[in-house]
Structure 1
Amino acid sequence: MISANATSLRPAGALFGHFEMIVPPGVSLGDLLERAYWQNAAPKLQVNTAIRVVAPDGSFDALLAVSAVENRQSQHHWAEMRVLWSWIAEAADREAAQSERQ
Protein backbone atom coordinates (compact mmCIF):
# COMPACT_ATOMS: atom_id res chain seq x y z
CA MET A 1 0.00 0.00 0.00
CA ILE A 2 1.23 3.49 -0.86
CA SER A 3 0.89 6.00 1.96
CA ALA A 4 0.53 9.77 1.83
CA ASN A 5 3.68 11.82 2.03
CA ALA A 6 3.32 14.49 4.72
CA THR A 7 5.31 17.00 2.66
CA SER A 8 2.67 16.85 -0.10
CA LEU A 9 -0.01 18.29 2.21
CA ARG A 10 -0.65 22.00 1.76
CA PRO A 11 -2.91 24.42 3.64
CA ALA A 12 -6.33 24.83 2.06
CA GLY A 13 -6.15 27.21 -0.87
CA ALA A 14 -2.36 27.06 -1.22
CA LEU A 15 -2.39 25.05 -4.44
CA PHE A 16 -5.60 25.95 -6.21
CA GLY A 17 -7.12 28.92 -4.43
CA HIS A 18 -10.39 29.22 -2.58
CA PHE A 19 -12.88 32.05 -2.96
CA GLU A 20 -16.18 32.93 -1.32
CA MET A 21 -18.95 35.12 -2.64
CA ILE A 22 -22.48 36.19 -1.95
CA VAL A 23 -24.18 36.20 -5.32
CA PRO A 24 -26.40 39.10 -6.43
CA PRO A 25 -30.13 38.74 -5.72
CA GLY A 26 -31.90 36.75 -8.40
CA VAL A 27 -28.89 34.62 -9.39
CA SER A 28 -29.68 30.91 -9.24
CA LEU A 29 -27.40 27.93 -8.81
CA GLY A 30 -28.13 27.11 -12.43
CA ASP A 31 -26.87 30.54 -13.50
CA LEU A 32 -23.56 29.81 -11.78
CA LEU A 33 -23.06 26.77 -14.00
CA GLU A 34 -23.15 28.90 -17.16
CA ARG A 35 -19.67 29.58 -18.55
CA ALA A 36 -20.48 33.20 -19.37
CA TYR A 37 -21.41 34.03 -15.76
CA TRP A 38 -17.72 33.82 -14.83
CA GLN A 39 -16.28 35.87 -17.72
CA ASN A 40 -15.15 38.76 -15.50
CA ALA A 41 -13.76 36.50 -12.77
CA ALA A 42 -12.02 34.02 -15.10
CA PRO A 43 -8.64 35.82 -15.04
CA LYS A 44 -8.40 35.03 -11.29
CA LEU A 45 -9.30 31.34 -11.70
CA GLN A 46 -7.48 28.13 -12.51
CA VAL A 47 -8.66 24.54 -12.81
CA ASN A 48 -9.59 23.13 -9.37
CA THR A 49 -10.08 26.55 -7.76
CA ALA A 50 -12.93 26.21 -5.23
CA ILE A 51 -15.63 28.86 -4.89
CA ARG A 52 -18.19 28.84 -2.10
CA VAL A 53 -21.31 30.67 -3.23
CA VAL A 54 -24.19 31.74 -1.00
CA ALA A 55 -27.49 33.34 -2.02
CA PRO A 56 -28.27 36.53 -0.07
CA ASP A 57 -31.78 35.27 0.76
CA GLY A 58 -30.48 31.96 2.10
CA SER A 59 -32.04 29.97 -0.73
CA PHE A 60 -28.85 28.05 -1.53
CA ASP A 61 -25.27 27.45 -0.44
CA ALA A 62 -22.85 25.59 -2.68
CA LEU A 63 -19.22 24.74 -3.23
CA LEU A 64 -18.15 24.86 -6.87
CA ALA A 65 -14.84 23.92 -8.47
CA VAL A 66 -13.45 25.16 -11.75
CA SER A 67 -13.31 22.28 -14.24
CA ALA A 68 -12.13 24.31 -17.26
CA VAL A 69 -11.16 27.92 -17.82
CA GLU A 70 -10.16 30.26 -20.65
CA ASN A 71 -8.45 33.21 -19.03
CA ARG A 72 -5.32 33.94 -21.00
CA GLN A 73 -5.02 34.90 -24.67
CA SER A 74 -8.66 35.19 -25.60
CA GLN A 75 -10.76 38.28 -25.12
CA HIS A 76 -13.67 35.94 -24.42
CA HIS A 77 -12.95 34.66 -20.93
CA TRP A 78 -15.08 31.93 -19.38
CA ALA A 79 -14.97 29.29 -16.66
CA GLU A 80 -16.80 26.01 -16.40
CA MET A 81 -17.86 24.83 -12.95
CA ARG A 82 -18.74 21.54 -11.34
CA VAL A 83 -20.79 21.28 -8.15
CA LEU A 84 -18.91 19.64 -5.28
CA TRP A 85 -21.81 20.03 -2.86
CA SER A 86 -24.95 22.10 -2.65
CA TRP A 87 -27.78 22.83 -0.27
CA ILE A 88 -31.03 24.30 -1.57
CA ALA A 89 -33.59 25.58 0.92
CA GLU A 90 -37.16 24.47 0.84
CA ALA A 91 -39.79 27.22 0.74
CA ALA A 92 -40.41 27.05 4.52
CA ASP A 93 -36.67 27.44 5.21
CA ARG A 94 -36.46 30.54 3.01
CA GLU A 95 -39.46 32.15 4.71
CA ALA A 96 -37.99 31.49 8.15
CA ALA A 97 -34.61 32.94 7.14
CA GLN A 98 -36.26 36.09 5.76
CA SER A 99 -38.38 36.65 8.87
CA GLU A 100 -35.28 36.27 11.10
CA ARG A 101 -33.60 39.13 9.22
CA GLN A 102 -36.57 41.45 9.72
Structure 2
Amino acid sequence: MPCEFDHLRRCASLSALQAAVHEMCAPFGSVVQLDVLCAVQVGRQQALCFLRMGSMEQERQAQEGLHLRSFGDRLVLVLDIDHPWQDEGLAPASRAMAP
Protein backbone atom coordinates (compact mmCIF):
# COMPACT_ATOMS: atom_id res chain seq x y z
CA MET A 1 0.00 0.00 0.00
CA PRO A 2 1.50 3.38 -0.95
CA CYS A 3 2.81 5.42 1.98
CA GLU A 4 0.51 8.35 1.10
CA PHE A 5 -2.30 6.31 2.69
CA ASP A 6 -0.54 5.79 6.04
CA HIS A 7 -2.33 8.74 7.62
CA LEU A 8 -5.67 7.23 6.58
CA ARG A 9 -4.85 3.96 8.35
CA ARG A 10 -4.30 5.88 11.59
CA CYS A 11 -7.64 7.73 11.58
CA ALA A 12 -9.27 7.37 15.01
CA SER A 13 -12.85 7.15 13.70
CA LEU A 14 -14.97 6.59 10.65
CA SER A 15 -15.85 10.28 10.48
CA ALA A 16 -12.14 11.19 10.64
CA LEU A 17 -11.45 8.78 7.76
CA GLN A 18 -14.23 10.30 5.67
CA ALA A 19 -12.86 13.81 6.23
CA ALA A 20 -9.31 12.67 5.41
CA VAL A 21 -10.43 11.02 2.14
CA HIS A 22 -12.24 14.21 1.11
CA GLU A 23 -9.11 16.24 1.91
CA MET A 24 -6.81 13.81 0.06
CA CYS A 25 -8.98 13.99 -3.07
CA ALA A 26 -9.51 17.78 -2.98
CA PRO A 27 -6.61 18.61 -5.35
CA PHE A 28 -8.40 16.59 -8.06
CA GLY A 29 -11.89 18.01 -7.52
CA SER A 30 -14.82 17.44 -5.22
CA VAL A 31 -15.92 14.08 -3.85
CA VAL A 32 -19.66 13.93 -4.52
CA GLN A 33 -20.23 10.53 -2.93
CA LEU A 34 -18.21 8.54 -0.40
CA ASP A 35 -19.38 5.21 0.98
CA VAL A 36 -17.25 3.37 3.51
CA LEU A 37 -17.80 -0.29 4.24
CA CYS A 38 -16.19 -1.36 7.51
CA ALA A 39 -15.31 -5.00 8.02
CA VAL A 40 -13.52 -7.06 10.62
CA GLN A 41 -12.07 -10.34 9.47
CA VAL A 42 -9.61 -12.59 11.25
CA GLY A 43 -8.98 -9.88 13.83
CA ARG A 44 -8.13 -7.27 11.20
CA GLN A 45 -10.26 -4.18 10.66
CA GLN A 46 -10.56 -2.88 7.11
CA ALA A 47 -12.23 0.07 5.47
CA LEU A 48 -13.36 -0.18 1.86
CA CYS A 49 -13.86 3.34 0.52
CA PHE A 50 -15.98 3.73 -2.62
CA LEU A 51 -16.05 7.23 -4.05
CA ARG A 52 -17.24 9.30 -6.96
CA MET A 53 -15.79 12.60 -8.01
CA GLY A 54 -17.60 15.52 -9.67
CA SER A 55 -16.68 14.43 -13.21
CA MET A 56 -15.08 11.58 -15.13
CA GLU A 57 -11.98 13.73 -15.69
CA GLN A 58 -11.64 14.36 -11.95
CA GLU A 59 -11.96 10.61 -11.34
CA ARG A 60 -9.30 9.88 -13.94
CA GLN A 61 -6.93 12.41 -12.36
CA ALA A 62 -7.57 11.09 -8.84
CA GLN A 63 -7.13 7.50 -10.02
CA GLU A 64 -3.79 8.31 -11.65
CA GLY A 65 -2.56 10.72 -8.99
CA LEU A 66 -3.45 8.55 -6.00
CA HIS A 67 -3.04 5.13 -7.66
CA LEU A 68 -6.64 4.16 -6.91
CA ARG A 69 -8.47 1.24 -8.47
CA SER A 70 -11.88 1.35 -10.06
CA PHE A 71 -14.80 -0.91 -9.24
CA GLY A 72 -17.71 -0.46 -11.59
CA ASP A 73 -18.38 3.27 -11.79
CA ARG A 74 -16.53 4.13 -8.57
CA LEU A 75 -13.00 4.52 -7.36
CA VAL A 76 -12.07 2.19 -4.52
CA LEU A 77 -9.48 2.29 -1.77
CA VAL A 78 -9.00 -0.63 0.64
CA LEU A 79 -7.28 0.16 3.93
CA ASP A 80 -6.15 -1.99 6.83
CA ILE A 81 -6.99 0.07 9.91
CA ASP A 82 -4.29 0.14 12.60
CA HIS A 83 -6.59 0.20 15.65
CA PRO A 84 -10.28 -0.15 16.60
CA TRP A 85 -12.40 2.88 15.79
CA GLN A 86 -14.16 4.87 18.48
CA ASP A 87 -17.32 5.78 16.52
CA GLU A 88 -20.52 5.37 18.47
CA GLY A 89 -22.52 2.34 17.44
CA LEU A 90 -19.83 0.94 15.14
CA ALA A 91 -19.99 -2.81 15.55
CA PRO A 92 -17.55 -5.41 14.24
CA ALA A 93 -19.99 -6.33 11.47
CA SER A 94 -19.82 -4.65 8.09
CA ARG A 95 -21.60 -1.33 7.87
CA ALA A 96 -21.89 1.22 5.05
CA MET A 97 -21.77 4.91 5.87
CA ALA A 98 -22.12 8.04 3.77
CA PRO A 99 -21.07 11.56 4.81
With the length of structure 2 as denominator, give the TM-score of the two structures: 0.27
- Structure with the bigger RCO (C-alpha within 8 Å, sep 6+) is 2
**Structure with greater Cα Rg:** 1
TM-score by length of 1: 0.27
Higher helix share: 2
